[in-house]
């Protein structure tokens, strides 16, 4: 396999000989290099394609430099890419990309690098390519991604219009090789205070300093009435938005400030200075370049960085990596507040631990709601309860103690197998406002859809690709059957699918109007569409004898599609008619008209034929792909069943495609599933 590496125009398959232990013990590093055609070897660098690899400019790199000189072999410098991970490398997190430089390295501005070549090449980019780069740059900023992404605290707690000073770790190579030193930091702070005497000066410490792993240049001794340290884990983009000015030495945050539309004041000579995008106070250099932010972004993030997909061990593009990093960061950030769970059945606790343990201790489970609220209050945590099991007393207690109450429910792409058969989901919704199936109150999903006009073309295109892939792969919520149904409709006769539902399900209890049962639904559909060919599909849980909803007569349907495949049925019909079934949403994905007799989460937005009363909170009129983005990308969280880590929806879809979604269950789980079938008439005991 050959990949483009280094300076433009070089397509090389290289054997990289390494002489420091990082290349030995860091498997991810070797896998990324291999995915981009760079194979790490140990021994003597012999052969025409051999080169010597070093990591950055650490002292141990001198060993590799000496070997390269002796054997007259090219020297290749490897470093982390500009979007790395959630936590730092010293905290044990693995990178999602590398830079591989065959000339120098970007942060050593005393010598040329491949990045310099790319900066010059960016001058000749077409307006189309520049716009594509600008769109991706804006996408990264909207997602608030940075090199490290362990943001925990709200920026809203900070004063408005402050001056931001960015600290770095002592003697970092980017400082010494960026024509700066400790005096540069002293000068930076002094200038920030003198030039802004009426503003608060806030110093942003480095993540590794906050973790106690490395010292920074600033400490409490530098604080006074005007100056304070920011010691919390705050989002850089959020800081930029509130800052009046941004001061840095050589920190990558200066580059991120440029991408976010700001002009940092720079006291070193970082690789992004001298391009007309910063107020340069450090060592001058005559680059002779005036670039736009999108040109710099194209060079740094789209060409210089080599991105990696850890789920499928392959090279990746920039947008794939932003999706992965955003999913990982969201999971980490959401789970930093201790989780106290109440009302969760034993079989659900295993997968909840997986979803909720990222970066913290495992969640605590309680049987008593008031004990759970008390524990969450003491731990400064949150209470999580399976949606529909909360009581007004519990809601009031949480509000009184200022404890966040999170409702949990399955996502819309769930599993291969039924939840009622105790098959764990690969997606969950965590909602601190309501829950998507309850239209009697607002939910986070409603808020997301109402804000859908802010979606970018990248967001909409991503949702379109997800939707098209779901349709192509014939994916539905449960994916339990391959049985097809022979339809005997007459010529030009409209074929309508009526999906049965579990009649005691919360979505019926909360979202149904006057039509509340499967029989009532069939009667109404027959009355509204008297000449149609009606297919009734019983709910899989009902067919399995696990839930309530069986009908006693088939008089209103032309055919009952027992144990049939939902995706295949949806391809065969002209319309879906439902109370609140997810099958209506799945019909929308496939371009089918959908008639709703209740108020499911996807109705009331102008995309369905609504028979129930309108919900006035639903004001937006999103396109189908905007709705898909809200429901399948932004609202739920996904968990990869193979790697056991948080992931974006695209990973789950590919697992479906490769048949990697079937979950093995132990003997005890199978016994519990059978017992649940026996007690189907008392389903409230199990759900």
DSSP H or E run through 498: strand 495-499
Give the pLDDT confidence score for residue 472 in this predicted structure: 94
Structure confidence by residue, pLDDT tens digits, 447-488? 999 999 999 999 999 999 999 999 999 987 766 656 778 888
User: How many CA atoms lie within 13 Å of 38's alpha carbon, on the beta-carbon side?
Assistant: 29
- Under the banding of pLDDT at 50, 70 and 90, the label for residue 252 is very high
Which residue in 159, 158, 227 sits closest to 190, CA to CA?
A: 227
Region 274-293 average pLDDT:
93
The angle at the Cα of 183, spanning 275 to 99, to the nearest 5 degrees, equals 45
Q: Is the pLDDT of residue 233 over 70?
A: yes
Sole residue written with tokens 């008439």: 681
Structure confidence by residue, pLDDT tens digits, 336-373? 889 999 988 887 888 888 888 765 568 899 999 999 99
Q: In whole angstroms, what is the distance from residue 104 CA to residue 586 CA?
A: 52
Region 142-151 average pLDDT:
94
- Under the banding of pLDDT at 50, 70 and 90, the label for residue 415 is low
Give the pLDDT confidence score for residue 667 in this predicted structure: 56
Name the CATH architecture for the domain at 147-309: 3-Layer(aba) Sandwich (3.40)
Which residue in 83, 98, 207 sits closest to 139, CA to CA?
A: 83
The alpha carbon of 387 is separated from its chain's Cα centroid by a whole number of angstroms, namely 23
Give the pLDDT confidence score for residue 217 in this predicted structure: 97
Helix/strand/coil percent split, the chain, to 5? 40, 15, 45
Instruction: Tell me which of 329-338, 354-363, 398-407 is least confident.
Output: 354-363
Q: In whole angstroms, what is the distance from residue 261 CA to residue 241 CA?
A: 9
Region 190-216 average pLDDT:
95
More confident call, 293 vs 154: 293
- Determine the straight-line distance between the first and last CA of the chain, rounded to whole angstroms: 51
Q: What tokens appear for 656 in the block? A: 């479906």
CATH number for domain 3-121, candidates 1.10.260, 3.40.50, 1.10.3470, 3.90.1580: 3.40.50
Output the DSSP codes for 309-327: ETTTTEEE-HHHHHHHHHH
Instruction: Tell me which of 2-11, 272-281, 334-343, 487-496 is least confident.
Output: 2-11
Q: In whole angstroms, what is the distance from residue 444 CA to residue 571 CA?
A: 31
Q: In whole angstroms, what is the distance from residue 599 CA to residue 607 CA?
A: 13
Q: Please state whether the predicted TM-score (pTM) of the whole model is above 0.85.
A: yes
Q: 580-601 in b/e burial notation, b at 16+ Cβ within 10 A?
A: bbbbbbbbbbeebbbbbbbbbb
Q: What tokens appear for 523 in the block? A: 């009667």
Q: In 3-state terms, what secondary structure has residue 483?
A: strand
Give the pLDDT confidence score for residue 505 in this predicted structure: 86
Cβ pair 214, 170 in contact under 8 A: yes
Which residue in 75, 653, 225, 681 sits closest to 413, CA to CA?
A: 653
Sole residue written with tokens 């992404």: 149
More confident call, 157 vs 317: 317
Share of the chain above pLDDT 70, in %: 90
Cβ pair 167, 205 in contact under 8 A: yes
Which phi and psi angles does 386 have, rounded to 5°?
Answer: -65, 130
Q: In whole angstroms, what is the distance from residue 602 CA to residue 580 CA?
A: 9
- Under the banding of pLDDT at 50, 70 and 90, the label for residue 504 is confident
Which residue in 138, 133, 80, 89 sits closest to 317, CA to CA?
A: 133
Region 277-303 average pLDDT:
94
List C-alpha distances in Å: 596 to 251, 579, 592, 619.
54, 6, 13, 18
The DSSP output letter for 425 is P
Give the pLDDT confidence score for residue 449 in this predicted structure: 98
List C-alpha distances in Å: 255 to 110, 134, 179, 271, 406.
18, 14, 17, 9, 37
Residues with Cβ < 8 Å from 88, sequence gap 6 or more? 148, 207, 208, 211, 213
- CATH 3.40.50 domain locations along the chain: 3-121, 147-309, 482-626
- Under the banding of pLDDT at 50, 70 and 90, the label for residue 545 is low
Q: In 3-state terms, what secondary structure has residue 534?
A: strand
List C-alpha distances in Å: 523 to 188, 573, 612.
76, 19, 16
Give the pLDDT confidence score for residue 419 in this predicted structure: 46
Give the pLDDT confidence score for residue 157 in this predicted structure: 80
Cβ pair 250, 278 in contact under 8 A: no
- Under the banding of pLDDT at 50, 70 and 90, the label for residue 64 is very high
List C-alpha distances in Å: 147 to 79, 141, 304.
13, 12, 15
Give the pLDDT confidence score for residue 13 in this predicted structure: 66
Residue 574 burial (10 A CB sphere; 0-12, 13-18, 19+): middle
Give the pLDDT confidence score for residue 351 in this predicted structure: 81
Output the DSSP codes for 358-417: TTSPPPEEESSHHHHHHHHHHHT-EEEEETT---HHHHHHHHHTT--EEEEEE-SS--SS
Cβ pair 412, 636 in contact under 8 A: yes
Sole residue written with tokens 């989460």: 601
Region 574-581 average pLDDT:
97
For the domain bounded by 482-626, which CATH number is listed? 3.40.50
β pairing state of 11-12 and 3-4: antiparallel
- Under the banding of pLDDT at 50, 70 and 90, the label for residue 190 is very high
Q: 155-168 in b/e burial notation, b at 16+ Cβ within 10 A?
A: beebeeebbbbbbb
Q: In whole angstroms, what is the distance from residue 375 CA to residue 422 CA?
A: 28
Q: In whole angstroms, what is the distance from residue 637 CA to residue 646 CA?
A: 8
Q: Indicate the average pLDDT of the chain.
A: 89
The alpha carbon of 161 is separated from its chain's Cα centroid by a whole number of angstroms, namely 30
Q: Is the pLDDT of residue 387 over 60?
A: yes
Q: Is the pLDDT of residue 77 over 50?
A: yes
């Amino acid at each position: 396999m050959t990949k483009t590496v280094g300076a433009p125009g070089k397509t090389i398959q290289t054997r990289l000989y390494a002489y420091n232990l990082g290349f030995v013990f860091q498997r991810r590093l070797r896998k990324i290099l291999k995915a981009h055609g760079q194979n790490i070897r140990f021994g003597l660098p012999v052969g025409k394609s051999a080169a010597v690899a070093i990591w950055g400019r650490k002292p141990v790199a001198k060993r590799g430099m000496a070997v390269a000189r002796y054997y007259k072999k090219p020297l290749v410098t490897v470093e982390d890419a500009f979007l790395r991970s959630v936590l730092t490398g010293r905290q044990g997190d693995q990178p999602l990309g590398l830079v591989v430089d065959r000339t120098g390295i970007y942060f050593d501005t005393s010598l040329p690098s491949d990045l310099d070549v790319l900066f010059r090449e960016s001058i000749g980019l077409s307006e189309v390519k520049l716009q594509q780069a600008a769109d991706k740059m804006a996408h990264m900023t909207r997602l608030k991604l940075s090199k490290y992404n362990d943001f925990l605290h709200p920026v809203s707690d900070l004063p408005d219009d402050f001056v931001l000073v960015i600290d770095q770790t002592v003697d970092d190579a980017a400082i010494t090789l960026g024509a700066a030193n400790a005096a540069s930091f002293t000068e930076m702070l002094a200038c920030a205070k003198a030039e802004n005497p009426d503003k608060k000066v806030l110093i942003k410490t480095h993540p590794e300093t906050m973790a106690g792993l490395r010292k920074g240049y600033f400490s409490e001794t530098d604080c006074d009435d005007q100056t304070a340290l920011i010691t919390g884990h705050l989002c850089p983009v959020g800081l930029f938005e509130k800052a009046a000015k941004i001061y840095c030495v050589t920190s990558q945050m200066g580059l991120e400030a440029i991408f976010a539309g700001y002009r940092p004041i720079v006291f070193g000579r970082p690789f992004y200075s001298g391009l007309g995008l910063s107020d340069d106070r450090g060592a001058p250099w005559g680059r002779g370049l005036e670039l736009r932010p999108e040109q710099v972004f194209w060079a740094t993030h789209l060409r210089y960085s080599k991105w990696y997909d850890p789920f499928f061990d392959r090279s990746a593009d920039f947008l794939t990596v932003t999706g992965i990093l955003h999913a990982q960061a969201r999971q980490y950030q959401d789970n930093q507040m201790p989780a106290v769970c109440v009302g969760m059945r034993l079989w659900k606790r295993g997968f909840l631990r997986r979803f909720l343990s990222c970066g913290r201790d495992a969640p605590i489970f309680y049987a008593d709601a008031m004990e759970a609220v008390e524990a969450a209050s003491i731990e400064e945590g949150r209470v999580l309860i399976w949606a529909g099991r909360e009581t007004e007393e519990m809601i009031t207690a949480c509000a009184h103690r200022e404890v966040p109450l999170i409702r949990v429910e399955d996502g819309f792409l769930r599993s291969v197998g039924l939840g009622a058969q105790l098959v764990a989901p690969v997606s969950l919704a965590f909602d601190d406002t309501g829950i998507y199936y309850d239209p009697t109150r607002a939910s986070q999903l409603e808020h997301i859809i109402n804000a859908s006009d802010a979606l970018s073309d990248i967001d909409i295109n991503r949702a379109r690709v997800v939707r098209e892939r779901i349709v192509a792969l014939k994916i539905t919520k449960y994916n339990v059957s391959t049985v097809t149904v022979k339809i005997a409709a007459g010529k030009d006769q409209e074929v309508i699918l009526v999906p049965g539902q579990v009649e005691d399900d919360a979505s019926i209890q909360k979202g149904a109007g006057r039509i509340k049962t499967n029989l009532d639904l069939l009667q109404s559909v027959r009355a509204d569409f008297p000449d149609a060919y009606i297919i009734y599909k019983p709910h899989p849980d009902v067919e399995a004898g696990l839930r309530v909803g069986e009908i006693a007569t088939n008089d209103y349907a032309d055919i009952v599609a027992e144990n049939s495949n939902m995706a295949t049925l949806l391809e065969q019909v002209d319309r879906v008619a439902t109370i609140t079934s997810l099958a209506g949403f799945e019909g929308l994905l496939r371009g089918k008209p959908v008639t709703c007799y209740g108020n499911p989460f996807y109705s009331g937005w102008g995309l369905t034929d609504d028979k129930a009363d309108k919900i006035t909170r639903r004001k937006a009129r999103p396109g189908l792909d905007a709705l898909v983005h809200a429901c399948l990308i932004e609202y739920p969280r996904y968990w990869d069943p193979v790697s056991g880590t948080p992931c974006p929806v695209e990973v789950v879809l590919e697992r479906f495609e490769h048949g990697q979604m079937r979950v093995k269950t132990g003997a005890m789980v199978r016994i519990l599933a059978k017992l649940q079938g026996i007690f189907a008439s008392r389903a409230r005991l199990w759900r």
